Amino acid sequence: MNRTQTRTKWLAGIALVGASALVITGCSTPAPESAEEPGGDRPAEVDLTLQLGSLLPSTGSLSFLGAPMEAGVQLAVSEINEAGAGITVELTTADEGDLDNKAYETSITNLQSAGITAMVGAASSSVTKLILDGNAGSGILTVSPSNTSADFTGINPLYFRTAPSDNLQGEVLGNQIAEDGHKTLGIIYQNDPYGTGLFEAIKATFEGTGGEVVGEASYNQGDGQFNAQVQTIAASNPDAVAIVSYDQFATIAPLLGNAGVDTGALYLVDGNLKDWPDLGVSLEGSKGTRAGAELPDDFIDQLNEVWTAEGNDPIDALTYSAEAYDATILIALAALQAVSVEGEDIAGAMQEVSGGSGEGEKCTSFAECAEIINGGGTADYDGYSGDVTFDDDNDPAGAAIGVYEFDAENVQTRIK
């Protein structure tokens, strides 16, 4: 069974996702003249070459997320190119790094010099804020698979994201903490758009259930010492502690344990939710949230097929891989719909091919959607990450937020 057949079989049962996840709704080739004329017929043959960039972290505090996302991009590119549907993607990859090592500064210059007109990334909301104006000024479409800061809603016509706003994740986590019977909460969070947005959403939701946030402490990216923050939280004696961080969690969690905080009552977020087998303290019973629908069992095999073919070590995580895959597919479909690889033209078709406007025909793979578009129809792509469906603010109109729980080995499993 090939990848497309496997995917179609999985999506036939996508209605089952609702039972296990909380779903919240809330270079360049000029376009042929005939495609620009109002009411003009679509050209009989389309031959586009899209210069696509990816800016994702292979170093820095989010590097554990980089490989799954990059693999998602590469899997999508391989399927687009294999389809022979009138568009070929030439991918240029670059390291995002983080605010500490600032790899993105050189990388974004290199990507822009390479002539990209669309980009998947950045992963970090903070990095995207720094590079977005430059990309937009250069006519580059920016689509992030993992920016969750609420600040990005409607921020720029050339910006889209396939991950939902932190408002949604914060609501799910805040409600989960209350559902678990906790009445008081401490929160440690990083002082950036990602951290403050999630902090505010978690706090508002938890207090809306009747709970009380009794301690809160922030830190700045690049900080290496968290004793003061941990002491503040421990002194407030909360029932549970939410930690909004990236890999700083590796330092914060043991410090909390040493301070007498129950490390089985910690609550994690997408930036730090992964297996922690070598952490040094037990997380058994702790929980976390991450956006994304449940994925088919063989998806990681599909990712590794293209990822290891490039000489990379196998990946064992899926975080934001589906969102990166869908971002890439949607960019290519929008270019095909617009019969253009110019960033502004692609952006103009993104909502349409996602099903956010018009009466599109449902499709679940690039090849299937491309056939609809090349036949003169309108495609409505539903992807691995969900329906996507961009709204007028270029946000996904709905999203599945999964809840995960840690076992005695500090390995997390999805529970809803």
Instruction: Given CATH 3.10.450.50, say whether it is the number of domain 167-293+402-414.
Output: no
Per DSSP, helices labelled H in 18-124 are 33-36, 63-83, 103-113
Q: State which residues of the chain have pLDDT below 50.
A: 1-2, 4-6, 8-40
Burial 247-283 (b: 16+ CB within 10 A, else e): bbbebbbebbbeeebebebbbbbbbbbbbbeebebbb
- Where do the domains of the chain lie? 3-13+31-164+295-395, 167-293+402-414
pLDDT tens digits, 363-401: 999 999 999 999 999 999 999 998 889 999 999 987 789
- The region that residue 365 occupies, defined by phi over 0 for left and psi between -120 and 50 for alpha, beta otherwise, is beta
| 122 cis-preceded (ω within 30 degrees of 0) | yes
DSSP state of 396: B
What is the model's pLDDT at position 25?
33
Other residues' Cβ atoms within 10 Å of the Cβ of residue 308? 13
What is the model's pLDDT at position 222?
84
Which numeric CATH code is attached to 3-13+31-164+295-395?
Answer: 3.40.50.2300
Q: What average pLDDT does the structure give for the chain?
A: 90
What is the model's pLDDT at position 317?
83
What is the model's pLDDT at position 34?
35
| Same fold yes or no, 3-13+31-164+295-395 and 167-293+402-414 | yes
Exposed/middle/buried for residue 317 (C-beta within 10 Å: 0-12, 13-18, 19+): middle
Contact criterion met (CB below 8 Å) for 317 and 324? no
Q: Which residue has the tokens 């000489």?
A: 311
What is the model's pLDDT at position 205?
98
Enter the pTM of the model. Answer: 0.80
